[in-house]
Structure 1
Amino acid sequence: MSLDTIRIGFLPLVDAALPILAREQGFGEAEGLAIELVRDMTWATVRDRLLYGHTDAAHLVAPLAIATALGRGRPAVPMAVPFVLGLNGNAITLAVPLAEQVLDDDSLGDPVMLGGRLRAVALARVAAGKRLRFGVVHRYSSHNYMLRYWLAAVGIRPDVDVEIVTTSPPFAADALAAGEIDGICVGEPWNSIAVDRGVGRIALVTAQIWRRGVEKVLAMRAETVDRDPDLVRRLVRALHAAAAHFIDPATRNDSAAILARPEYLDAPVDPIARAISDWVRLVQGAAPVEIPDFMFQYREAANFPWRSQAAWLYSQMVRWDGTPYSPEDAAAAESVFRPDIYRAALAGSGAPLPSASSKLEGAIDGTSLGAGSTQGRLILGRDQFFDGRAFDPDDIPQYLASLP
């Protein structure tokens, strides 16, 4: 049969796995799709290639899809996110000299204790006239918002007590090695590569800051979704099948080998395989440690585009851009996430489909919670923020007022 071609842009990261595996393992072809993948090195290029029609869809940091729809930093373009490619999966890696100042041993830091020690170092550096500098992958990225959320909650003022700059994920270890930055918040395998090179030490993972935090998404121009909804639904099904394949322990080695290829991540197999299996090496030469839910790609309707997650990202955009809250912008931000398309694509498949499109974020503690679904049985696990706050998407101004 003839296949419909769809071009998808991506960055060389482990969480680009689903479109890569959809192509390589035949899930796209099973849905009548010929998936072509376009590799870039910066999120700005991935976005621009999508907006100017060089690609049809993109593996993209979730906040950038919302910022693009709202016209932050460029003319607004309507966007649609019908599928979430993964939750969490990032880490905060410190340059070795800084890590030795704030960490006692070779285990992950506690967000509060580590934050207190980092604050003391940061303030001393301010007094000495040379602020600590952290690298994130884009201004509009979950990496930036997770890092800022943690820093602010422990009493470190982003942009005042520390500097935050942009660095491309594949060059993050190089920036640490050159002494240009003191820490990074990036996705795998680039934290692990910094560790294996001996230039960094993983201090926190973002799952410690917001368990189940939204990370990468499938982003499309809204006009593409409107023009060919059937193609979009087939792509969602292909990615969903790829997600089930990705988390199967029996496929991990094969998946890591595929992702490591030069045309994809162009990186060693070992750190990729570790990330897939939730085992992370924190210090050069040390044994990897298991970090449950380090990456989260499939269970608990992980791929469902919750509008409340988009609302939280918008709240952080308001917070850190210094712009006033706008009910219209909040609604527009939420409308970028398209649970209606996800439900339509997977209806009749047996996949759990949440009946609600929004929820209270950060409200599930150590116990799991049954959630309403129109299809299948849906159990949601712990999703707390490290400071114990919960986010109500229906009251963003009150939430913003409560933040430090």
Structure 2
Amino acid sequence: MSVNRRTLLGGGIGLGLAAGLGATAAGLRPSDAASASSALRIGYLPITDAAPLLVAHQRGLYEDFDVPVAEPVRFRSWAELAQAFVAGRVDVVHLLAPFAVQLRYGMGAPVRLIAWNHTNGSAITLSDTMSGLSDLAGQTFAIPYWWSIHNILSQDLFRESGLRPVVRKTPSASDGEVRVVVMSPSDMLPAMSNGVIAGYSVADPFNAMAEVREVGRIHRFLGDLWRNHACCAVVMREDTIDGDPGLVQRFTNALTTAQLDINADRPAAATALTEGYLPQPEPAIARALTYPTEEYADSGAVLRPDWHGNQIGFAPFPFADYTENLVDAMGRTLVDVDTRFLDDLDPADVHADLVDDTFAREAIEASGSPAAFGLPDSLTRTEEVDIT
């Protein structure tokens, strides 16, 4: 499959991405980029999705695997992170999986997905003023980006519950409409506390934060709707991969080692993440890494306890059936950006073009076996999605 090479300022760009593409991204100065030219530059959002990239840095795993890296750079929003990545200000990012599809096919950016950074790790959180999902009729609901698993699964659940997502209009309560808006994750909790939005779907620890601060509650974990789905993946530009594949392999080995370390001791990982990486308090981060299944089964946020959808997972292998299902789901999701790039895509072909799984395969083998990550020996699976 050939990549649709639209200009970077063309129709597939999300709100706020085109406007700042040529500008310096927040948190990254030109001097930072110049001084880090000989090292891989990692960009991240302050969410638990970024944990493997950050724990690997905190514990010196990149050095252990002979990977020179600069201090990871924090961004406030997905648009800012993508601006920096596409412009070459950072070299490797954890990126929303649907956003990676948009970058390659909607923007023509030469990017490849080399591994999953994590699975699950997101939820739908409602204000304490909402008694249930039906109360969202006539209200505003926030997502972190149009092309996100948060938008996809929230809208699926809305429709299953008799609600209708809308954009750019005042939602009608009588018609069961919910206005969907994009908001930076760090702005969501204050907006909900102030009544600007009635709920949100986002990565943790912002769901845990709502409960810790007693202003909201988790209505549903997204991993309870799509079993062990990838929210964020590790994405690099093709020039980085082609320029030094050995470096990329060593980087992936460090990343997967961090994933195993997190799985082995989640409380310790929560402590590591507070050491200059995530700004949230350690109790919220620890809760996000260790949600108790029994508590949420009782509340209704977990209806399939055997899926363990409340538990963020850390396993690197990008499954082909997931990519196909993801692209198909993007086609049924309401967004306020250009969707024409999807018209040219065959969901069954995207994985081979977008994803390079050779680095993850070798890293898994070096770690012992797929079983070390809870993965099937065949490294194949069929997706399980149940929007009820």
Pairing 1:227–2:227 present:
no
Instruction: Assess if the C-alpha contact under 8 Å between 1:257 and 1:269 holds in 2.
Output: yes
1:152 Cα deviation after fit? 2.1
Which letter maps to 1:28? Y
Instruction: Assess if the C-alpha contact under 8 Å between 2:44 and 2:73 holds in 1.
Output: yes
Determine which of 99, 104, 126 is the counterpart of 1:64: 99
Q: Which segment is superposed worse, 315-324 or 24-33? A: 315-324
Within 5 Å, give how 1:4-403 maps onto structure 2.
5-36=39-70, 37-71=72-106, 75-98=107-130, 100=131, 102=132, 118-119=133-134, 121-122=135-136, 125=137, 131-159=138-166, 161-248=177-264, 251-261=265-275, 263-279=276-292, 292-298=308-314, 302-320=315-333, 323=340, 325-327=343-345, 331-332=349-350, 335-352=353-370, 372=378, 384-387=384-387
CA–CA separation in structure 1 for the residues paired with 2:327 and 2:367:
32
Instruction: Assess if the C-alpha contact under 8 Å between 2:324 and 2:347 holds in 1.
Output: no
- SS of the equivalent of 1:33 reads coil
- SS of the equivalent of 1:155 reads coil
CA–CA separation in structure 2 for the residues paired with 1:191 and 1:317:
24
Instruction: Assess if the C-alpha contact under 8 Å between 1:18 and 1:246 holds in 2.
Output: yes
CA–CA separation in structure 2 for the residues paired with 1:21 and 1:371:
26
1:294 Cα deviation after fit? 2.1
Which letter maps to 1:44? A
Which letter maps to 2:311? M
1:363 is matched with which residue? none
CA shift digits 1:223-278 (9 cap, x unpaired):
21111111111111001000000011xx33332122123x3111111111122223
Query: Identity across aligned pairs (percent)?
Result: 28
Count of matched residue positions in the alignment of Structure 1 and Structure 2: 329
- SS of the equivalent of 1:240 reads helix
- SS of the equivalent of 2:115 reads strand
Instruction: Assess if the C-alpha contact under 8 Å between 1:87 and 1:297 holds in 2.
Output: yes
| Higher-strand-fraction structure | 1
- SS of the equivalent of 2:279 reads coil
1:317 Cα deviation after fit? 2.0
Q: Over aligned residue pairs, what C-alpha RMSD do you find?
A: 3.0
Greater RCO between the two (CA within 8 Å, min separation 6)? 2
Instruction: Assess if the C-alpha contact under 8 Å between 2:256 and 2:363 holds in 1.
Output: no
Instruction: Assess if the C-alpha contact under 8 Å between 1:192 and 1:280 holds in 2.
Output: no
1:157 Cα deviation after fit? 2.1
Q: Tell me the TM-score normalized by structure 1.
A: 0.74
Instruction: Assess if the C-alpha contact under 8 Å between 2:324 and 2:350 holds in 1.
Output: no
Instruction: Assess if the C-alpha contact under 8 Å between 2:224 and 2:309 holds in 1.
Output: no
- SS of the equivalent of 1:186 reads strand
1:384 Cα deviation after fit? 2.8
1:369 Cα deviation after fit? 9.9
Q: Tell me the TM-score normalized by structure 2.
A: 0.77
CA–CA separation in structure 1 for the residues paired with 2:319 and 2:123:
23
Task: Go from structure 1 to structure 2 and tell me whether the alpha carbon gap of 1:331 and 1:182 turns closer, same or farther (over 3 Å shift).
Answer: same
Instruction: Assess if the C-alpha contact under 8 Å between 1:195 and 1:282 holds in 2.
Output: no
Task: Go from structure 1 to structure 2 and tell me whether the alpha carbon gap of 1:281 and 1:200 turns closer, same or farther (over 3 Å shift).
Answer: farther
Instruction: Assess if the C-alpha contact under 8 Å between 1:70 and 1:332 holds in 2.
Output: no
CA shift digits 1:211-230 (9 cap, x unpaired):
11111111111221111111
CA–CA separation in structure 2 for the residues paired with 1:56 and 1:271:
29
